[in-house]
Chains A and B, each alone.
Chain A
């Protein structure tokens, strides 16, 4: 074998590696771990998805994220100081920061829990009459009543008598050593550092007849509901339902879920999902080369983020609420400064108002300048990053970075070529083409938007070619940005991906083989609702994965 044929073989091997490395790793997971299954979860085990046959993946104990902690103490104590803001940040897995399997507690975080609890207790004790359910002239009696009533809300379940006794001992010791207020504060500090507050502890009801799955207690179900739909603790009505045994059946749970979805707190949870799914917090840290994009000022960052967040909130809660509208609506929300930046007609003043888009140019979130800017380089667009964003976030494909020895540099800027022409090397070099055929031809569809998301009909005097094709999907060929947006908006692969993302966020874990039937039910109900996100949230409360708990160590 001569050198040349060896080299060709090697290149071919690299290309093959690349193609195989890029083609799969989509949705379904084995035991919480991504598999090489290409996303269709329904080819095996379908026969098992029958009424009366329970199947659900293991749900590890979840600890509160910083967002959940802040919301919880707000709802528990009316404390809006966001004490968790400076906690050690969560690690992130499968795209979300609430993945239970990777959230641990280091000594630094344990210490932060301690100082946060001290601050919360001290602030609450400044207004003892508001905090206490009783007259403190009977210090001991009132202390005990406080522990029971506050404990039930802080721990999201009634306290056992021995738990009350132990907390009372802390209270009473401090009361006699220091004073009543210190006793109350120290009991609160214990409660706010206990696993019953910081974690969502689930042991479930005793399973019947050695079954592998257990139903949850009403209290556990109340927390599952409230943290999924509100990113916070249950309210009094939900706790009352738990107490009355009215969270036992799927129908009862649906009644509560509907009530909760009508509460403004549901918006904060849904916003949290989208912020993470679409990486909107990256907009806050956008840096652009001022010589290339002089119109991009730092003051624009919060406006760009607000546009997308306001739009999503409106679509889901005040409009049709469906995935298609999210991805292809012909309107958005801007204020005067943002409209001027876009160079498109808009309202005057600082208030964000609905604007109608030019439907030949922009439709849906993919054409928002914030998302276009965060998927660009500082001095140019990046069809690779934009394609990767669509692949990973909207199609749930997993793409590796360039293999070792391959430079991850964009082709050099060239004033005689368009970006698309410069990136042509990717499709000509077999070592690159394997992966880049998945990304670049998706990103090309957004080439009408420059590196900060402003419209351009041509680049370097050459007309933009924004046609392309999304292979390995049902999207296929498209003719430009709005066509791409519309095709993604009605793609079954995108719809399935949205379900997967919501599963991971809603349940705080990756999907497993045991979740096949839950996943299938979600997809079916999502389709039946016209791909309505609110209905998907409701459906998430009705699956086996939500209603049951797999008993650890048991086989399905």
Chain B
């Protein structure tokens, strides 16, 4: 009987409206250690976080309607990039880049395009029967965001967050649908359900701090025992099964690390996001609304310093999204195969790619609204927007449309349009690693590396 009473009083506490703020603080760990060294102002002074966002849109672009006109510093944005005009001085637009590993190895052009985009390495052989070419497996190496997350992600609650918008989950995802990798053959599926993302990132709000602390302690001891099971079993298995278990073990350790949690204070801009009236996140016509929700969650995860590395994958390579909200009534992939001579199709593709530029502009503006130090969260961020193809109707991997937004804390000298002569995109990935303090000379397949892409800083 006594247990029942204590349980009821606990519930009454948890159900109270006024409990909202303490939830959030409990989640941030404030209530557990609110020492002077973790006060907001002190934290901002000692630690200016740098952040990375990978931003993917599919099926190639319309290159001559994407490429700006003019010189390095005196340029006019093209039809497709025009929505980014308010942020022009924050952009680095890179022309003449090639996704070189995507020209080799197993897989079709889309598979290689998305799988090599952030890994810089040819795909593994495997059972995915794409459109053409030898059947492929997943990517053969870690993606650049994860390499960076391994370096800088430890101080935040989530090492990284992978967001998706209708990434083909229900139809059976393949290598076409995965762009982030924790390592060879270790895809990180994006979370395409904004409500599940919300629960994961901003969850734990339904418990008071005492409950939460108890749950965290229990989880840690459960996961300790679970990791023992994995380590012991892995030793008894053959090489490929062992690799699989070891990857699983790494995933559990990451959850454990997260539970250990950072005790940094809650930045002032951190608010619990409001997702509004629930919508069906799988419906084609809700694509823009889902994307908006995911960008809001991403921005708030930054504002709350819950993560410093994120990605946003709009649909998948070979996307069949029908962009009806910009007056396009055909599936994107089919449209992307139309010839250059089909002016109507080209106009529709411009509208689609322009719409993605609008989304990037929204995310930039959102990050600019988050005060941080003397400026905004955007000042310390770099967003990299690219695609699995250059032109859909050629299935080409050059010139890869690449736009950087933000300077990553002053590392990149923005407001410029740079033209390269078929520079390897691996070199951009190296430059990104360098920007986050990783002293790498190569990334991915070293054959496609000449050193960090020049002239970015």
What 1/0 mask marks residues of chain B from 208 to 240 whose CB sits below 8 Å from any chain A CB?
Answer: 000000100011011101101110010011111
B225 with A167: CB separation less than 8 A: yes
Among listed A261-269, A401-409, A520-528, interface-contacting one = A401-409
Range, interface on chain A: 35 or more
Measured between C-beta atoms, what is the minimum distance from A142 to chain B in Å? 19
Q: Does A302 contact B (CB under 8 A)?
A: no
Among listed A93-101, A232-240, A249-257, A335-343, interface-contacting one = A93-101
A195 with B127: CB separation less than 8 A: no
Measured between C-beta atoms, what is the minimum distance from A105 to chain B in Å? 4
Q: Does A437 contact B (CB under 8 A)?
A: no
Closest to A197 in B: B229
Q: List A455-498 residues whose CB lies under 8 Å from chain B.
A: none
**8 Å CB contact of B394 from A33, A186, A404:** A404
B395 with A404: CB separation less than 8 A: yes
**8 Å CB contact of B129 from A34, A107, A195, A402:** A34
Q: Does B85 contact A (CB under 8 A)?
A: no
Closest to A282 in B: B171
Q: Does B251 contact A (CB under 8 A)?
A: yes
Measured between C-beta atoms, what is the minimum distance from B452 to chain A in Å? 29
Which residues on A sit within 8 Å (CB–CB) of B200? 108, 111
B225 with A88: CB separation less than 8 A: no
**8 Å CB contact of A34 from B127, B219, B342:** B127
Closest to B392 in A: A404
A108 with B189: CB separation less than 8 A: yes
Number of B residues, CB within 8 Å of A: 74
Measured between C-beta atoms, what is the minimum distance from A394 to chain B in Å? 16
Closest to B241 in A: A61
Measured between C-beta atoms, what is the minimum distance from A122 to chain B in Å? 11
**8 Å CB contact of A166 from B108, B225, B244:** B225
Which residues on A sit within 8 Å (CB–CB) of B132? 21, 400-401, 403
Q: Contacts A108-B200, A111-B255, A400-B132 known; A409 to B338 CB distance under 8 Å?
A: yes
Q: Does A79 contact B (CB under 8 A)?
A: no
Q: Does B287 contact A (CB under 8 A)?
A: no
Closest to A392 in B: B129
A105 with B248: CB separation less than 8 A: yes
Q: List B117-170 residues whose CB lies under 8 Å from chain A.
A: 125-129, 131-132, 134-135, 137-138, 159, 162, 169-170
Q: Does B61 contact A (CB under 8 A)?
A: no
Complex: A398 Cα to B175 Cα, angstroms: 17
Q: Does A542 contact B (CB under 8 A)?
A: no
What 1/0 mask marks residues of chain A from 83 to 104 whose CB sits below 8 Å from any chain B CB?
Answer: 0001011111110010101101
Which residues on B sit within 8 Å (CB–CB) of A201? 233, 237
Q: Does A196 contact B (CB under 8 A)?
A: yes
Complex: A117 Cα to B218 Cα, angstroms: 13
Q: Does A182 contact B (CB under 8 A)?
A: yes
Measured between C-beta atoms, what is the minimum distance from A270 to chain B in Å? 19
Q: Contacts A195-B248, A407-B339 known; A108 to B126 CB distance under 8 Å?
A: no
Measured between C-beta atoms, what is the minimum distance from B338 to chain A in Å? 5
Q: Does B337 contact A (CB under 8 A)?
A: yes
Q: Does B193 contact A (CB under 8 A)?
A: yes
Q: Does B292 contact A (CB under 8 A)?
A: no
Measured between C-beta atoms, what is the minimum distance from A212 to chain B in Å? 13
Complex: A339 Cα to B171 Cα, angstroms: 28
Measured between C-beta atoms, what is the minimum distance from A211 to chain B in Å? 16
Measured between C-beta atoms, what is the minimum distance from A274 to chain B in Å? 15
Q: Does A300 contact B (CB under 8 A)?
A: no
Which residues on A sit within 8 Å (CB–CB) of B230? 194-195
B127 with A33: CB separation less than 8 A: yes
B338 with A407: CB separation less than 8 A: yes
Q: Does A510 contact B (CB under 8 A)?
A: yes
Measured between C-beta atoms, what is the minimum distance from A382 to chain B in Å? 11
Which residues on A sit within 8 Å (CB–CB) of B342? 407
Measured between C-beta atoms, what is the minimum distance from B163 to chain A in Å? 11
Complex: A525 Cα to B72 Cα, angstroms: 71
Which residues on B sit within 8 Å (CB–CB) of A93? 126-128, 174
Partner-B contacts on A (CB < 8 A)? 21, 25, 29, 32-34, 60-61, 86, 88-94, 97, 99, 101-102, 104-111, 114, 117-118, 166-167, 169-170, 173-174, 178, 182, 186, 189-190, 193-196, 199, 201, 203, 276, 281-282, 285, 287, 398, 400-409, 510, 551-553
Can you report 19 A-B residue pairs in the complex whose CB atoms are below 8 A from each other?
A: A33-B127, A61-B244, A88-B191, A89-B173, A90-B172, A93-B127, A101-B126, A101-B137, A104-B138, A104-B185, A106-B182, A107-B251, A110-B252, A114-B223, A190-B225, A201-B237, A285-B170, A407-B393, A552-B240
A108-B189, A114-B219 are known; give 9 further A-B pairs, CB within 8 A: A33-B135, A60-B240, A86-B196, A104-B244, A194-B226, A194-B230, A195-B229, A404-B395, A407-B334
Partner-A contacts on B (CB < 8 A)? 108-109, 125-129, 131-132, 134-135, 137-138, 159, 162, 169-175, 177-178, 182, 185-189, 191, 193, 196, 200, 214, 218-219, 221-223, 225-226, 228-230, 233, 236-241, 244-245, 247-248, 251-252, 254-255, 282, 284, 330, 333-334, 337-339, 342, 345, 393-396
